[in-house]
Amino acid sequence: MKNLLSSLALLILAAVSTSVSANQCDWYGSMYPLCTTQSSGWGWESNQSCIAATSCTSGGGSLTNAVSGCGITTSGYPQCCNGSASDPDGDGWGWENNQSCVTSKPSTACNWNGINYPVCTGSDSGWGWESNQSCIGKSLCAGGNDSAPKWESLIDGNSFSNYSTFEKHWNYLYPWGSDHNGTARMYGSSANHKQIYLENGNVLVLKATPVSATEGKSKADPYLTIKYHSGAIHAKTQVLVNDQYPNWEVRGEFQAPTSKGTWPAFWLTGAWTWPPELDILEFKGSATNWFNTFRTSSDVSTTKVSVSSPNNWHKYRAWITKVNSTDVDVHYYIDETWYAVHRATGFVGKPMWVIINLQMEGSAGAPGPTSDTYYRARNVYIGRTSTH
C-alpha cells in the first residue's frame, strides 16, 4: 500500500508539473502558444492567436512543454539545440526531446514584423498554405514587411453612444427588409425610434410590441401572421474571411429575453446566398443558447448551452479563423468561456452580414407575450487581422 501511494503521488506530481510548465497547446495537431493575459477562451497576443490552458484541455487539446533549453521562437515552437543535425531533410524542422523544433537555418523561416512564418517550399512569391499552416514566399520575405498582419477594429464597441455614431456603423431593419421567419415585422429609421432606440450607457434597445390590427402575413417563409412590431439592425461592415482578412472577432454583451415566443438573435448570414450562417446568440423561448453553423440547410453543427439568467448582461463571442483555402473554424464563447469549435466548410470568400434582431414566436413557440418585450445590447465589437 505504501508503494502504491508513493506511485500515485509521483504521478500526480508529474501531472501538476506538466500543467505548470506547459506553454503551448496541441490543438488537434496544430500548436498554439498559451495565453498569458486570460484564463479561458482564445485570444490574440504578440500578433498571433493563443489559447488559454483550460480551454485547451476542455476542448480536446493537450498541454505540452515547448521548452527545449534553447528558447522558444515567436511561432511558439522551441528552437532546436542541435541545429541542422536535428533536421536531416533540411526543411527547417527538427525533432528533439520528443517534440518538433525549429532549426536556425535562415532560409526556412521569415520573421515578418515579429511573427515567424515558415518559408513556402512550393512557391517563391506571395503567401501560401503548407503543412496546415500559413507560409511566405522567399521573395516576399526578402522584399520587406510593409504588408505585415495588423489588427483592425471596424466597430469599436462604442457604436451605440449616440444616433450619429450608430447610423455611421449600422443600418435599420434586416438587409433584405422588414420581414423574416417569425410573427414580428421590423420597424425603424432615423425618424422612427419606437422599436429601435438608444439608452444612456451606450445601450441599444430593441422592443417588440403586440399589435391588435392585422397586417397580413410575413413576406418571408414560413409566412406567419404578423402579431408584433419589433426591431432589427445590421452592420454596414460585412465579415469576409479570405487571405487578406484571415481572422475575425465578433462579440457583444446582451440582455436577452427567454420567455415563450421570444426569439432574440446575434448572428451572421450570407450577403449573397444562404447559407452561410453563424448564430452567436439565439434563444428560442428558453434559457438555452444555440450556437449554430449552417454549411447547407441540412448540414448544421449545433452546440446548446444553458445560460444562467440570460436577462442579465452576458458576453457572447465568436472567433473566426481561416484554416485552409476554403474553410474556417468558428470558436464560440459565453462570458469568455470556450464552448465549441465548428468547422465552417466553404465559408472562405463569402461575405456575411452581422445582424441583431428580436423576432417573435416561430421557432420560439406560441403564443408569445401579451406585453412589450425588450432585448438590449452593448459593447458590440467587430475586428479582424489584415495582411495588406
Q: Is the dihedral of CA 276, 278, 284, 290 positive or negative?
A: positive
> Cell numbers at residue 58, please?
476542455
> Cell numbers at residue 225, please?
401572421
- Asked if 231 and 188 count as a contact pair (C-beta separation under 8 A), the reply is yes
Q: Write the CA distances from 380 to 162, 233, 239, integer angstroms.
A: 14, 12, 14
Q: Write the CA distances from 381 to 154, 250, 287, 376, integer angstroms.
A: 8, 6, 24, 15
- Asked if 194 and 176 count as a contact pair (C-beta separation under 8 A), the reply is no
Q: Which of these is catalytic: 152, 282, 336, 361?
A: 282
> Cell numbers at residue 174, please?
434586416
> Is 167 a known active-site residue?
no
> Is 96 a known active-site residue?
no
Q: How far apart (Å, rounded) are the C-alpha atoms in residues 165 and 158?
A: 8
Q: Which of these is catalytic: 130, 277, 336, 361?
A: 277
> Cell numbers at residue 306, please?
444553458
Q: How far apart (Å, rounded) are the C-alpha atoms in residues 209 and 275?
A: 30
- Asked if 378 and 203 count as a contact pair (C-beta separation under 8 A), the reply is yes
- Give the active site residues: 277, 282
